[in-house]
Structure formats: structure tokens, C-alpha cells
Amino acid sequence: MTGSQMIESFLVHYDRISSFSAPEYTQEEILLFLNNAQNDFVTETVFGKNYQPPAFEDNDKRVVDILPLIAREIVSSSRISASTKYGNSWYCNRQDVLYNPYFDGSAVLYTIGIEALMTRSNPYVNNAYVPCKRIKTENVGKFITSGNINRPYFVHPVFIEESEGYYIIGDYYTTSILGLRASCIQRPTPITAATIDYVGAYGVGSMCIHPNAHQRIVDLAVRQALAPIQDPRYQMAVSENQIKTS
């Protein structure tokens, strides 16, 4: 669907369920519902409904639905800086992983995984990519190297994600991290009345979700639009799954 077709589909399904008795929404309000629904759809696709498995990479359809949003970026050493914040650590700004001028900053929505191009002495590794493990901030103290007092040993670097970017933490034997490979989900571009249909690539001005999922986004938007007025027909439609997709 194009953006205008999604607006039209929203109106058809909204009017059918509300029997023309619900308050009318402006085009700007409809687009707000559609974009909120698109964001919710991406989140559900990536993490599963109610954050239950399968994850999106365990389900081929989910991968296809958001394929243009999946990015695997190589981050050079020039965009990584040594840091002592977490002992033997390195910092990378999220904007330096994936920048999009449309958002005037980082286009990273969710981080799926990070690999570090590292060198270490024990065991010896020379400029090889090693998968990093995400850790909770509350556990970071277990991984911090502190002179001769604390010499943690873990072959795979760990990382934590903060508001502006990532800290990659190496053990006592890690000498350098010269690059990263980051797998992430990009922010979906907004739906507008001028948005053209899906072209299979990520870009401003076209749908970035597979056409098979467009009606699903409309359905989610209709449900969100009916929820504030607590229309009993909305509750029935949800419980009986009567919001049709055709």
C-alpha cells in the first residue's frame, strides 16, 4: 500500500467497526495512529508478541517483513575511542554505527549484536572478529580490569548499551579493539500521505515494511484509534478477532 491507501484502508475499517458513530479523526491524527502502529509492529516482529519467542531471526516471515530495516554495519577504528570508564574498555557512539540525516542522528532502533575486531595476548588473537556478549549494567563490576588488583579473564568481550552508544569491555589480556561489526534494526521511516509503496529497500519516501504486513499495521492503528473511546464493539472485535484483513 501507499501512504494514501493506508489512510483510506484505515477509514474503511474504522467506520465499519464503529458503524460511523465514533468521532472522526483528521488525516494528521490517522497518520499518528499508523506510525505508532508501525513502530509497535516492528517491536513485536523483533522481540515476539509480549516478548515471547520465537525471535524474529527464528521465523523467516518476520525477517522478510522488516528486511529493509535490518542492517549490518562495519565500524572502523576512527569511530572507536579508548575509554577508562569501565576499565579496559572502548566507546562507540550509536550515531557512528548508523547515521541517517533524515533523523539528524542515529538510525539505530534496536541493537541485535556486536562483534569486536580485537587483539589479545592470552589466548593469542590478532585482528580477528570475536562475538561480544551483552551484559547488564548492574554486573559490569565483574568485568572491570583494575591494575594488578583485578585481572578478569574472559575471551569474548562484553558490551553495555547506554543512552548515547556502546561500551565494549575487554579482559586483562585484551590489548586493542580496532573495529566493530554491529547488527541492528533501523528506525522505520514515517508513513505520510505521500509515501509510495514498498520498493524492497530502506529509504525516505517509501514503505519500509513488506506489503504482506501493511494491513496488519492498519488493523493495529484502528484498534488504537478505537481504544480511547472504549467502544464495546472494539472490545468484541479484538476478542473475536473480527477486524478483517481483506
pLDDT in tens, 192-224: 999 999 999 998 899 999 999 999 999 999 988
pLDDT at 243: 46
Three-state SS sequence of the chain: CCHHHHHHHHHHHHHHHHCCCCCCCCHHHHHHHHHHHHHHHHHHHHHCHHHCCCCHHHCHHHHHHCHHHEEEEEECHHHCEEECCCCCEEEEEHHHHCEECCCCEECEEEEEEEEEEEEEECCEEEEEEEECEECCHHHHHHHCCECCCECCCCCCCEEEECCCEEEEECCCCEEEEEEEEEEEEECCCCCCCCCECCCCCCCCCECCCCHHHHHHHHHHHHHHHHHHHCCHHHHHHHHCCCCCCC
Q: How confident is the model at residue 60 (pLDDT cuts 50, 70, 90)?
A: confident
pLDDT at 244: 45
Give the residue, 153 or 228, on which the prediction is more confident. Answer: 153
Of the spans 159-163, 235-239, 242-246, which averages the highest pLDDT?
159-163
* Mean predicted lDDT score pLDDT of the chain: 89
pLDDT at 17: 77
Mean pLDDT computed over 6-26: 82
pLDDT at 235: 54
pLDDT at 192: 96
pLDDT at 217: 96
**All structural domains of the chain with their residue ranges:** 3-66+189-239, 70-186
Single pTM value for the model: 0.84
Q: Is the pLDDT of residue 179 over 50?
A: yes
